[in-house]
Amino acid sequence: MLPGRTVRILSIDGGGIRGIIPALLLHHIKQNLEARGQEKPFARIFDLVAGTSTGGLIALGLTAPDTETPPASNLLSWLTRRRPEPKLGIMNLVDFYRKQGESIFPSRGFHRWRNLAQAFTEKYDTQALETIARDILGDLTLRQTLCPVLITAYDTTRMSMQLFRTTKARIDKKENFYLRDVLRATSAAPTYFEPHQLSPVDRPDLEYTMVDGAVFANNPALLAYYEAKRIFPLAKRFVIVSLGTGRQQRSYEYDQMQRWGFLDWINPLKGVPLLTMMNSAQNQLATYQLDRARDVDYIRLDRALEGCSARIDDASPRNIECLEEFVEKIIASSEPELTRIINLLKRA
């Protein structure tokens, strides 16, 4: 990498079905870039893509290679070969939320009963999510992504954060995992899905148990910044495009909380207050630090949800429609930020 170069980072928050929000924002950005002659896929525009939970799904979808690119047969064909294209375009990911959301988060049964049962066991079967992950990502591995990625999870066996990183996977077999396992690990939201057990591709003797990275970094932008500084030590500036999944507007007053017990703090009917507060605080901390970093242009797109369900598992057609309308409001109210993003990316 040339000294003094600008590094471009895409960071995408967790948020379950609300991942359709950053997916649609990326679609809007892509349309505007193409109108200005920038036709590269995001995997060649950004130098690093980071994601947590549903953001990890988008990150992997944008960077997983289409392995059907013909192999080079000789030196000339190697020199002139087409670089692999991404397996999925951004509209494939938008359609994923529209069409597969209810498969992953089925709404059958009595909603309140399911929420009560959630206090004692996971709310959803993981089979649909695992089948979709296998269908989309097959046997692709972390070392194969088209640009470096950073995906978060939490290792409950070793009680430490897990950062799935392409750069590490390319030099250490113990760090190379199937992308389908990475997706399943980063999306194993406690009480919604059971933890995921996985092993490195070439080290089946090593076993890990992991849950959703949102337990420590729902907004992975700060982690992505430090990873980019490690990968690109000569870089002069870091442009971080950070996409949220809509902030919950609900607040909690003393009169509500003074008699809360354990189940109240994790009650989905109350918006899972403990996790909501942790995620909000972590996001504020990341924003606080990145806004003060002298070598960072931090562009954050996120708004308080208006009229839509904040539940990460409300994949009903009505809520999907509401979230899509909410994105239109974000676009209309974020023209300065979007213009800045597009101007910074069109030269990549």
Task: List the catalytic residues.
Answer: 53, 212
Could you give the CA distance from residue 206 to residue 313 in angstroms, rounded to a whole number?
A: 32
Collapsing DSSP to helix, strand or coil, 329 comes out as helix
| Dist. CA 85–CA 151, nearest whole Å | 21
Give the three-class secondary structure for 304. Answer: strand
Dig out the tokens for 80 from the structure.
């002139």
Compute the distance between CA of residue 200 and CA of residue 208 in angstroms, rounded to an integer: 9
Whole-number Å distance between alpha carbons of 149 and 142: 8
- Spatial separation of the C-alpha atoms in residues 171 and 303, rounded to whole Å: 39
The secondary structure of 202-235 as a DSSP string is: T-TT--EEEEETHHHHSS-HHHHHHHHHHH-TT-
| SS3 labels along 3-32 | CCCEEEEEEECCCHHHHHHHHHHHHHHHHH
CB proximity list for 60: less than 8 A, separation 6 or greater: 51, 137, 145, 149, 151, 179, 182, 183
**Residue 253, token pair as written in the block:** 């007053």
Q: How far apart are CA 134 and CA 184, in angstroms?
A: 10
Q: How far apart are CA 40 and CA 89, in angstroms?
A: 11
